Structure 1
Amino acid sequence: MRKLIEFIRSVYVVVLFVVLEAVAVSYYAHSTSYTQARLLARSNQVAGGVRGLFAGIRRYFTLGSENRVLLARVTALEERLAAYEEAQTAARLDAYMAGIAESKYRFATAAVVGNTANRAQNLLTLNRGRGDGVVEEMAVLSPDGAMVGYVIDCTERYAVVLSVLNTSFRASGKLAGSDYFGSIYWDGLDPHQVVLGELSKYADPQPGQEVLTTGFSQYFPEDVLIGWVESASLNENRTSYTVRVRLAAEMTRLVDVVLVENRDRFEILDLERSEQVKQHTRLK
């Protein structure tokens, strides 16, 4: 009891001050309507601040769940975007393939199941044959569109390709940006190079210049990339260039290829072999 009296004696001044302040504030608050409105506004402001503080604290502790919800939404949107892009790509491919179907060239793909590069007569074997629409004399390109060779024989399931790295291979090639052309062949030396021979002395080939197909060949479309000029030298009579060309196709690393058929090839061959043409070309 004595300690309680001592405690009350030590704090009664503070308690009395608080009680008097409360009475004064109550009297002031009820003195006029203006003061009541001001105190109400201030109390609402303080209460709003306190509620905002606690709301911020609650929001902080719920950030994890909110992030998970946002992540799920982002994932759903990404899936929808991927589906949209896939649909757009499919539409573009359909349009592209429709355009191809209307052109004079027909395209197919195949995998390389056999390949040599260390002989004079190198060949490739493909896992597609007549049953897949492959026919003799189809051009064969690398996946990025560079010259590889052309089909020389087929079975129902397989095809054999005369590689550009074959000393029997022949095609026509030209320097990019010019009308000068010559004969493409392999001399059996370097599996990364072929030769562009019989090129006009006026051609002026430059190192790094692209070498392309001419379109004169019955096998290859025009402007198929063959490679790039590495070096050039005039023959002894200084009438033509012999150009060494770095192949664009990695012949020793081929996995897949693209086959190209000229739809007009048989019509052109039949015309060139017609009896009328033979009559005009027969020696007299």
Structure 2
Amino acid sequence: MFEFIRSIYVVVLFVLLEALAVSYYAHATCYTQARLLARSNQVAGGVHGLLAGIRRYFLLGDENRALLAYAAELKERLARYEEAESIAGFDTALAEIGESKYRVMNASVISNTLNRAQNLIVLNRGTRDGVVADMAVVSPDGAMVGYVVDCTERYAVALSVLNTSFRASGKLADSDYFGSVYWDGVDPDVVTLGELSKYSEPQPGQAVVSAGFSQYFPAGVKIGVVESAVLNPTRTSYTARVRLTARIARLTDVLLVENRDLYEIRDLENSEKVKQHTRQK
């Protein structure tokens, strides 16, 4: 043992001295601290990108199957449109619709936390790609994931559905009963649909989709399926446990959806005339 230590003590001493030198340099001035912080952030971003690339490689099989299923669905929709094209006035009706109120683009996941109360998702798209705050984030098969809260030129950060600050409107599919979707910070595969009417009677296996009242998500975005539901003590509303459709832990790619009308609606809500009618007298 002594011989082994003696054979490597020069290397160990060199490493210790280098560590001391770097530590002294790092704390010498504010400038050196800033440079080292910037360099460490750059290295951390590169490592996250490398790990994300490796993870995407091993999940290519699942992604390809999901893409094939989505392509099949799109082909079916296209066939219906082509069939309807023979109807008189169909082309005119499409022209009158004009540009869709939603804009969609793809992005890859750089990092994605799961073990915190305030989980975030970092994406490889930014303002130079047309990303803006408040864009909805959905999985490739159209399930709710989160929404963008901030972005730089090359990257964006989204608030995950697995964040205790996340809120969205959801409803029981094929019904008019809606409530608030949020995460209680416990199970990363389950969210809560609260404030459901006492007349809704949610059943296990019943699908839950976005209600369309949220400014982030279009109506009908898949959220999950009901696992169980209970009436509150006053028997005035249900609280349902909903198993998420999106597999948040395995996300490699997502879709970003922008509501083109969002800012016009917000400007109207914050207009002076509206404020005149909402001020407390």
TM range (shorter): 0.5 to 0.7
1:135 corresponds in structure 2 to: 132
2:273 equivalent in structure 1? 276
- The residue matched to 2:249 in structure 1 has which SS? helix
Q: How do residues 168-187 of structure 1 correspond to structure 2 at under 5 angstroms?
A: 168-187=165-184
Residue 101 of structure 1: CA displacement? 7.7
Match of 2:117 in 1: 120
Q: Does 1:206 align with 2:206?
A: no
Unpaired runs of 5+ residues, structure 2, are: 1-74, 83-93
Distance, in Å, in 2 between the alignment partners of 1:223 and 1:203 is 18
Query: TM-score w.r.t. structure 1 length?
Result: 0.65
C-alpha distance in 1, partners of 2:196/2:258?
27
- Listed one character per residue, the Cα deviations across residues 75-96 of structure 1 (whole Å, up to 9, x for unaligned) are xxxxxxxxxxxxxx8xx6xx99
Q: Please list the CA deviations of residues 97-149 of structure 1 after superposition, one character each: whole Å capped at 9, or x if unmatched.
A: x9998210000100000001111000000000000000000000000000000
User: Deviations 1:178-208 (Å, cap 9, x if unpaired)?
Assistant: 1110000000010000000010110010100
Query: Which residue number in structure 1 is paired with residue 100 of structure 2?
Result: 103
Structure 2 partner of 1:188: 185
Instruction: Map Cα deviations across residues 211-244 of structure 1 (whole Å, 9 max, x no partner).
Output: 0001100000000000000000001111100100
Aligned match of 1:216:
213
| Matched ranges for 1:1-284 at <5 A | 102-284=99-281
Q: How well do the aligned residues superpose, as a CA RMSD in angstroms?
A: 2.0
1:114 counterpart letter in structure 2: S
Listed one character per residue, the Cα deviations across residues 220-277 of structure 1 (whole Å, up to 9, x for unaligned) are 0000000000000001111100100000000000000000000000000000000000
Structure possessing the higher radius of gyration over alpha carbons: 1
CA offsets 1:158-180 (integer angstroms, 9 cap, x no match) = 00000000000000000001111
Structure 2 residue identity aligned to 1:251: I
% same residue: 71
Secondary structure, counterpart of 1:102 in structure 2: coil
Distance in 2 of aligned mates of 1:130 and 1:215: 26
Structure 1 residues 101 and 192 mapped into 2: Cα distance closer, same or farther (>3 Å)? farther
Equivalent residue, structure 2, for 1:68 = none
Partners of 1:102 and 1:231 in 2: how far apart?
A: 41
SS of equivalent to 2:147: strand
CA distance in structure 2 between the partners assigned to 1:216 and 1:200 by the alignment = 16
Distance 1:101 1:228 in 2: 34
User: In the comparison of the two structures, how many residue pairs are matched?
Assistant: 192
Q: How far apart, CA to CA, are the structure 1 residues paired with 2:169 and 2:124?
A: 27
- Residues of 2 paired with 1:242 and 1:280: CA distance? 34
SS of equivalent residue, structure 2 residue 104: strand
Query: What residue in structure 2 maps to residue 53 of structure 1?
Result: none
Look up the equivalent residue of 1:133 and give its one-letter code. Answer: G
